[in-house]
Structure 1
Amino acid sequence: MKEWTDDEYCLHVNAREGSYLWMLLSDRSQSEDEEIWKSHIPAFRDLISQWVQLGFVKLCQGADWPVDLSTSEVPPDEVDGVLADPTSWQYEENPSRYTAVTVGDRDITELDEGM
């Protein structure tokens, strides 16, 4: 059985909940301090990008809350650009765009199987 990293486990749980990216950072850091959140962005940016390519998660964006996870999927070739945008990770009181992560089409348990 694969030993999950803290980042992998956090992403897996948040994807199952359809969480916004800032929620992922808050959960991982166990802090409300947005400056602390920023230190986790590089690891999650890479992990989300990998897992989108493998089909384990989807990245979604929308103008309305909650993001309609079934219709607002970011195309795989645009994921890295969205993840590179600092505003995708920021908490805002009244954002013009929400960015969320949700489960993909492949079962995450395949990670345990060593793919």
Structure 2
Amino acid sequence: MRFPITILLVVLAVTLANPTNYGPVYAAVPLPYGFNYAVNDAYKGTNFGQTEKSDGNSVWGSYTVALPDGRKQIVDYTADHGRGFVAKVSYSGKAQHPKVSGPAIVFPQNGGGYH
């Protein structure tokens, strides 16, 4: 009686350990979609956003990022199965760099750490 139950449990364990339906299930026909978002936090200096649309075959959109030097980076892109991902990167504004800097940072050497 133990042998048939053992065989049944082994078969069940192997079946559960090796499923044939890995990954998500995708629709047979790609669906059109569109979305956009924007984040602008003046206190932290965070400013970015994205817009994207698809007709089910191709995707096109753009995203922007405020860079630390004061410029804005704009990436316009398209993507499809024939040409792949194609991006055009541009910048607006002028880079701003501080003219005054503080003293050099010096780290202690030979184990002279902070206590």
Give your verdict on TM over 0.5.
Answer: no
Q: Rg larger in 1 or in 2?
A: 2
TM-score bin (small chain): under 0.3
The structure with more helix, counted as a fraction of residues: 1
Q: Which has the higher contact order (CA 8 A, sep 6+)?
A: 1
The structure with more strand, counted as a fraction of residues: 2
